[in-house]
Structure 1
Amino acid sequence: MSKEVLKVVNIEKYYGNKGNVTKAINNISFEVEEGEFVGVMGTSGSGKTTLLNCISTIDSVTSGHIFINDNDITELNSKKLAKFRREQLGFIFQDFNLLDTLTAYENIALALTICKVNHKEIDRRIRKIAEKLNINDVLEKYPYEMSGGQKQRIASARAIITNPSLILADEPTGALDSNSAKMLLESLNDLNKNLNATIMMVTHDAFTASYASKILFIKDGKIFNEIIRGNDSRKVFFDRIIEVVTLLGGDARDVF
């Protein structure tokens, strides 16, 4: 029986004051099981990034509950939340967020060092993940010496190195050229298939979303639709995504 990693229950997020309230998230509920690769799509302002921010503990919900591995993160104090974030979540950012003064190896090692993992174990884990993501040749390089695709794969390695329960990616291909984007998506696919990583990725791009196994479509802060890839080829799934995006009222030019 598959394990539930993420459970979102009736969450709402309001911004503003009594006279002018914006409902960024309006009563959303869903679950993500271990090993799922979930895409979240929606037009600009739909609430998809707010949803990701609440799950990633960057933002807090106005009401409702978010459970990650049965831990209700909406009930944790700031100290416990920081520890939880460090140990249970992995992040992949659009602009990489690598530290310029550290080598690729040191950037990946940082999260483990903070968690007080010993040097031998850090080295073992980095060598293993570098092999999987084909980044052995850049481990001693600094970010300015790497291509965008290499930087993004280093960022992916850093996200997975702590064996997080959930990896969260916000528009991970947004700053990449098409070739680098494809390489990153293949890397995420490998993490998902080979390491059983559970991934939740926000994207406006249908090609990027077609790598996921399930897509949640958000409109006006609510779940508008959900589609599951099943045994579809990526091409067939891509076409199904485009159909829903058209129903969403998005401009087709926004999804390529």
Structure 2
Amino acid sequence: MNDAILRVDDIQKYYGNKGSLTKAVDHISFTVDKGEFLGIMGPSGSGKTTLLNCISTIDTVTSGHIFVEGQDITTLHGGRLSDFRGRKLGFIFQDFNLLDTLTAYENVSLALSIAGVKPAEIQKRVKQIAEALNISEVLSKYPYQMSGGQQQRVAAARAMVTNPAIVLADEPTGALDSNSSRMLLTMLTELNERLSATILMVTHDAFSASYCRRILFIKDGKIFHELNRGSDSRKNFFSQILEVVSVLGGEQNDLF
């Protein structure tokens, strides 16, 4: 597939030894195209976070390969791995993870500075992403001087300023109230639709998942179902997600 930004090829992740072997990820394969907004759902212990950790290079696979823009990231180590992570991956965190002692501009530009990008180019790219996310007026402010929504957008700008191949979000709404969750999910949709960001989001929450365009359901370390939103409304897609959850038995909150 020519447009595949991410290709996960028959990966496995085992923990423990022969006496007590846990297959956290069990022969999973899928691709993510440029500009997709993919959700990964599954019960607690299903392997969804382990899968994300392998893609984000936090963890290593036991076998199989993961390709990002055609590069096999399972072969990278040390400095090459750090360089890849800094250039090709963007991260959206639940609690923003902004540095309190830096202004919004400094928070956003930090990754570019570390990568050795020239100051004039940094200024240009921060200005562009700030305009796109409507945070130009807070660039000189510190996190404590911003609203939660502004902090959220600064965090998104930081994730996007390096022009990453893929943006990864692990349970981004997990600790947020419903209003903040909606704001974050709307912002992820904006990144996807307006800036063509390729997003992979792990979530246990059907409402959050309904913002995605496609969902992979993981159970016992394997993909057991896939949903595509197509031209459906988000409301209809939400109902489809709940149907899949109900097929697994039990209430949504018990399982996901």
| TM band (smaller chain) | over 0.9
Q: Give the Cα separation in 2 of the matches to 1:246 and 1:127.
A: 46
Per the TM alignment, residue 250 of structure 1 is displaced from its structure 2 partner at its CA by 5.3
Residue 151 of structure 1 corresponds to 151
Give the 3 Å change call, closer, same or farther, for CA 181–136 of structure 1 in structure 2. farther
SS of the residue 1:17 aligns to: coil
In the alignment, does 2:22 pair up with 1:22? yes
Residue 67 of structure 1 corresponds to 67
Is the CA contact (8 Å cut-off) linking 1:149 and 1:181 kept in structure 2? no
Give the 3 Å change call, closer, same or farther, for CA 25–108 of structure 1 in structure 2. same
Q: Give the Cα separation in 1 of the matches to 2:250 and 2:50.
A: 19
Residue 201 of structure 1 corresponds to 201
More displaced, 99-108 or 25-34?
A: 99-108
User: Structure 2 unaligned runs (5+)?
Assistant: none
User: Structure 1 unaligned runs (5+)?
Assistant: none
Identity over aligned pairs, percent: 66
Per the TM alignment, residue 95 of structure 1 is displaced from its structure 2 partner at its CA by 2.2
Per the TM alignment, residue 255 of structure 1 is displaced from its structure 2 partner at its CA by 8.2
Residue 100 of structure 1 corresponds to 100
Deviations 1:126-170 (A, max 9, x none): 222222222223222222333333222211111110001111111
In the alignment, does 2:76 pair up with 1:76? yes
Deviations 1:163-204 (A, max 9, x none): 011111111112322222212211111111111111100011
Give the 3 Å change call, closer, same or farther, for CA 255–222 of structure 1 in structure 2. closer
Residue 167 of structure 1 corresponds to 167
Q: Give the Cα separation in 1 of the matches to 2:34 and 2:209.
A: 19
Deviations 1:7-28 (A, max 9, x none): 0011010111221111110110
Per the TM alignment, residue 253 of structure 1 is displaced from its structure 2 partner at its CA by 3.1
Counterpart residue type for residue 46 of structure 2:
S
Q: Give the Cα separation in 2 of the matches to 1:146 and 1:253.
A: 33
Q: Give the Cα separation in 2 of the matches to 1:44 and 1:137.
A: 41
Is the CA contact (8 Å cut-off) linking 2:25 and 2:47 kept in structure 1? yes
Give the 3 Å change call, closer, same or farther, for CA 101–236 of structure 1 in structure 2. same
More displaced, 128-137 or 191-200?
A: 128-137
Is the CA contact (8 Å cut-off) linking 2:98 and 2:143 kept in structure 1? yes
Relative to the length of structure 2, the TM-score reads 0.95
Residue 89 of structure 1 corresponds to 89
Give the 3 Å change call, closer, same or farther, for CA 98–164 of structure 1 in structure 2. same
Is the CA contact (8 Å cut-off) linking 2:44 and 2:255 kept in structure 1? no
More displaced, 28-37 or 98-107?
A: 98-107
Is the CA contact (8 Å cut-off) linking 1:8 and 1:28 kept in structure 2? yes
SS of the residue 1:32 aligns to: strand
More displaced, 60-69 or 148-157?
A: 148-157
Give the CA RMSD over aligned residues.
1.7
Is the CA contact (8 Å cut-off) linking 1:219 and 1:248 kept in structure 2? no
SS of the residue 1:121 aligns to: helix
Counterpart residue type for residue 141 of structure 1:
K
Residue 38 of structure 1 corresponds to 38
Q: Give the Cα separation in 2 of the matches to 1:181 and 1:133.
A: 17
Q: Give the Cα separation in 2 of the matches to 1:175 and 1:105.
A: 26
Counterpart residue type for residue 123 of structure 2:
D
Per the TM alignment, residue 251 of structure 1 is displaced from its structure 2 partner at its CA by 2.3
Relative to the length of structure 1, the TM-score reads 0.95
Is the CA contact (8 Å cut-off) linking 2:66 and 2:74 kept in structure 1? yes
Per the TM alignment, residue 225 of structure 1 is displaced from its structure 2 partner at its CA by 0.5
Per the TM alignment, residue 228 of structure 1 is displaced from its structure 2 partner at its CA by 0.5
Counterpart residue type for residue 187 of structure 1:
M
Counterpart residue type for residue 196 of structure 1:
S
